[in-house]
Structures are given as C-alpha cells and as structure tokens.
Structure 1
Amino acid sequence: MAVELQILGRAVKAAQYRQHRALDSRLASVGSTLAQWDALRAVGRAPGASARELAAATFQSEQAFGTLAGRLVAQGLVDRRPGHGRRIEHHLTPEGNRVLKAGHVVADSVLEECFEGLTEPERAALLGLLLKIEGQPGG
C-alpha cells in the first residue's frame, strides 16, 4: 500500500506544530519565546556571526532576523559589534547566555515528552529518515 504523500506531509507538520506550541508555551517560564530562544541558540553556536548567517540558521529572512535581533539587543540578551568591513557581529551577553541555558533545560523536557512514545531505535530511525530527506550525511 502506497503512503499518500499529503497525509505524510501533514503528519510531519502536525508533529512540528505540537512541538513548537509546547516549546513556545514552556519557554515563557524562562522569559523567552521559541523564536527568541532559537535566535539565542544560533548566536551561541556561532558567536560573531552576521545577521545573514543567523537568519539562515534560524530559517528566517534577514529582515525578520534583524527585527528579532533588535529586540534581543533591547532586552540585553545579545550584543551587536562592528566586524570586518560593514559586517555586524552578534554575541550573547551574560543574561543571553543564562536564558539560553535555561531554555535548553525546558527544551530537553518538552522534547522528551514529544518523543516519549518512540523507542530509542525508532528515534534513531526517524532522525536518519529526516536527515535523508534533508540531504544531510547520516540520513
């Protein structure tokens, strides 16, 4: 029996939607939203990255990331510093690092709940299949 691709696509989207709603709701407890925490995570992974690089890492347009980064700067979570040429580099502040770390604890809990119905081999298989779809090694 062939799998209907629209049903498969919707199931992937539904799982992502459930995960994002839970993350966004629970990240409020550490003073963040999912979009903010994801941006902090990207800056934490690549200190000194440009807005263009961070936009790509967070699946946003440069304009949307620039607006979000401006809010993070205003909240004292990110510093923007001049880089080479016209490049503006992004770095976490100590408070940004604290929120990022607190968000990791929340995310680990939420994701454990989201995937609790899968065994470890099923989780590994799902990850491998998703990486394969994305064209990444290991998939």
Structure 2
Amino acid sequence: MSQRMNKAELKKLFKAFDNGNGHLSLAEIDRAVTYFYPQFGTNKQAIMRAYKEADTSGNGFVELNEFGKIIDLLLYYDDISKVFQQLDRNKDKRISFEEFKKGHEILDIEYDDNVQLKQEFNSIDTNHGGYILFDEVN
C-alpha cells in the first residue's frame, strides 16, 4: 500500500473495497483490508482508528473523497500500534507509567527526571485513568 497513490489508483482501489453503493462502511473496509493487505488485517485497532478519523463528514461511511486519507491513516496507526504493542509488556492493552518509562529507556530517549516524564505520560493519558490506551495515542 503506497501513501502516494494518484487519483486513478485511489479510485480503482476504492471500487475494489466498495460493495457498489459508492461509500465504504467499517465492515467493507475491514473485509477489504484483510483481503488486499493481510499485514494490516489483524490490526483491528488501527483499522478502527483510521476509519473514524477518515470519516470527516461524520456520516459513518468513508466516501471516495475521504479514501486517500484512510490509506495514509492505516499506515500511520499500524506503525503506532506496533510501538504500542512493544511498550505493553504485560499485554493488557494499556501502557502503565512503568512501561512508558521502560520504553524511553529502551529507545534511549533521554529525559531530565521522572517529573518531566510523568507530565508527558499524563498529557497522553487524556482520560486520566492512569494508563495510556491505544485510543489516546496520536
């Protein structure tokens, strides 16, 4: 999947995803991604995030004019999901502060102190649940 498809390529791919009604539901997108791009097909969180963000009209469907965005977003959220899964050491689908801190150490990202790191963690933890969920990561 290329992030830089021309309009003709996007239209052709859109038609391959579409059931013929001119717009894509989440089910159509999920089915097509699983079929055409199996490397993304198992990453349901990335598909859902891309679908929600690409639906800029808010009508519950991805239209042809929104389709290029979903292609880019699938790649983006798949990458984020991979990092998220690496940080989620205990596989509970959320990142604790300790996992977040360990991730910084593994990636060799320097931080001044735990206070600064905790502030960064809290800025990502938008629901203030004490964990970072995939839906909170951008």
TM-score, normalized by length of structure 1?
Answer: 0.27
Could you tell me the TM-score, scaled by structure 2's length?
0.28
